Structure 1
């Protein structure tokens, strides 16, 4: 006899379906709807024990529904109940392939379909990662949210400066970083500088004190000259009234705060990951620093849960999709269905590695491959070559982690 419990988890409730196969007939033995709290989870736990055979728990299967299924997942892990957590897209495809199991679309029918399909497909139990990987993932996603907030704030600051002091964006080589944002906070409107009648030497000192780094007097003078010239030629759209400049100073301050928060998150992640061997392995790759290493580690999680690098490619979303019909054959393209954050980090890593490889004592077999492909390619674009390099980087990382080795160019070159 085989028994499966299917769970369809939503924000506040979960539909439960217990399906029994006695060798001849598959039937739904019990169905209910529970709340997503200790009372509801307790009911699920009682059902698990009720339908256990010789102290062997029935199969428990549910779809990953983001933060909603995390509570159930944590409860099952705490009570040592193995479970199968499915990707919603994969679950939908499997149910569609079986066909006859899923005639109507309701939450209860979804739970029933999950349980029935589990008895047919006999999916493997989900690999339970060490809690530190889950913590790292949560921190990394918060880091990405802060990143997104910074992009929004930068765009808003750019728009606000077009009204108050657009020429300020040309004073420094970059419109990014705490130094620039403090300069914006101090001089959000040219009239504030022109009407202050501040001596040039005093202006230089004011600018030098805006950064925590040591700024030479000559560098400070160059910035002060550019700032003064910009103030004289500026043509703002609004006056220097508080209502007009408050938005600029607020947004500059918000960017300073968000930047500090980002660094704080990275420091916390590095502290969490300091005992994990993968961190030093990733940092041994040429061009990979603390931030790239710890954010990629957080997105990858425990690589031991993957059996092949093709599974990692699918997880990241760089697995190829092929389409042909009759005499028509489309160009292959990546699925982009996987983890977009990991894909972005890996793509940026290739660019950084390529830049670092130009320096002495930073050889990299992945960059060797990347440059060789670029030279032999007939196309001007390099995105496809970069994706191929990402795939090679994934294979390298997987091998190093599985064998607990740090990167060695000579060994990597021999393996090509």
Structure 2
């Protein structure tokens, strides 16, 4: 006797349809809480080895997944796009009750394998990584607002350092939000202020060089507001906020690094030139246990860089990537390629060689396409390292 529980998860409830052989013998609704899951538990225990299927619905399905894992039930968590395709032949109307039935019928027809259950650490890393991304978005917003406010108080200040980023820059902005605050000092006094402001060790000569440049910029500036204007206070606040958020980002990475100490794949991923601990933490946070994918191509589909092709009659569209799936992971991998290429001069690899060779033989308009190709090759390499518990060997890589 084959028993299938199709569960359609919504915000606070879930519809359950129980299919035994060819007949739906029971349909009921549960709440996504302890009493609701106890009802589901009782129903599951009344059958021998029931199959369970539900759609992945983001945060709403997390509660059901956690309950099933705690109770040691095997389940199939299916991608909504996959379920929509597989249920299309027998679903005409759409209601929660019909969706629960449809999921059970899809399981009976396609016999999906149980979902690979990752260790709890991967879920925690995922949550931390998403918080990291939220902080990153907040930093970008704070920096954009800081740039806007500086245009009123001291726009030239953005040229004092090579980057408008980091602790030293934000400390200088907080201390010298208006040129009048700079013109109060001579070069040597400014150098002392700079040495005091930097969170890192700095030589006196570099401090004097920055001080001289800062003084020249202040003398040239024609500020739009006075030194006691609200815009000056806004600049100070936004610089403090950017620094605070950047500190929170670093704390998240430190926490993720501590949490992942027992994961062997970390050392294998770190062995690839151009990939640092921050990238590794973000990748694991988004991809989870890489061993759960049956192939590197499955990871490509998961992050949406699998190629799609469209033909209709005489019309043929240019092939492109699907852009379905995990956009965060796609963005992280895109930036990873840029890091790998930037370090290629000292640490070449098969990925940097591929990118540079393609760039030399192609126009600059194809940069994004080349990068996507490099991402696919990087995924294949990293997947190989993790699956085989192997470190990256540059000699083998470049020889191939």
TM-score (norm 1): 0.92
Counterparts of 1:272 and 1:319, CA distance in 2: 31
Residues in 2 aligned to 1:376 and 1:168: alpha-carbon distance in whole angstroms = 41
Q: Does 1:295 align with 2:291?
A: no
Are residues 1:27 and 2:4 paired?
Answer: no
Residue aligning to 1:330: 317
Matched position secondary structure for 2:15: strand
2:83 equivalent to 1:91: yes
Contact persistence 1:3–1:119 (CA under 8 A): no
Q: Which residue of 1 aligns with 2:72?
A: 80
What aligned pairs does 1:149-298 form with structure 2 within 5 A after superposition? 149-194=138-183, 197-241=184-228, 243-298=230-285
Of the candidates 380, 383, 406, which is equivalent to residue 368 of structure 2? 383
> Which residue of 77, 97, 103 maps to 1:108?
97
Cα distance between partner residues in 2 of 1:200 and 1:389: 48
For residue 380 of structure 1, report the CA deviation from its aligned partner. Answer: 4.2
Question: Per the alignment, do residues 411 and 200 of structure 1 end up closer, same or farther by CA in structure 2, a change over 3 Å counting?
Answer: closer
Structure 1 distance, partners of 2:233, 2:58, is 39
- 1:154-210 deviations in whole A, cap 9, x for unaligned? 11111111122212112222111111111111111223334xx33432221011111
Q: Within the alignment, does 1:144 sit opposite 2:129 as a pair?
A: no
In 2, Cα distance between equivalents of 1:109 and 1:4: 15
- Separation in 1 of the partners of 2:229 and 2:148? 17
Q: What is the CA-CA distance between 1:84 and the residue it aligns to?
A: 0.8
* Cα separation, 2, equivalents of 1:312 and 1:120: 25
Looking at structure 2, the residues matched to 275 and 75 of structure 1 have their Cα atoms a distance apart, in angstroms, of 24
Matched length: 400
Q: Distance in 1 between matches of 2:360 and 2:227?
A: 55
Equivalent residue number for residue 394 of structure 1: 379
8 A contact 2:304–2:324 mirrored in 1:
yes
SS in 2 for 1:404: coil
Question: What stretches of structure 2 of length at least 5 have no aligned partner?
Answer: none
1:347 aligns with 2:334: yes
Partner of 1:316: 303
Aligned mates of 2:228, 2:24 — CA distance in 1 = 71
Root-mean-square deviation over aligned CA pairs? 1.7
Paired with 2:217 and 2:134, the residues of 1 have a C-alpha distance of 35
| Structure-2-length-normalised TM-score | 0.95
Distance (whole Å) between structure 2 residues aligned to residue 33 and residue 5 of structure 1: 12
Q: Which structure 1 segments of 5+ residues have no match?
A: none
CA pair 189-344 structure 1, distance change in 2 beyond 3 A: same
The answer as to 2:394 corresponding to 1:405 is no
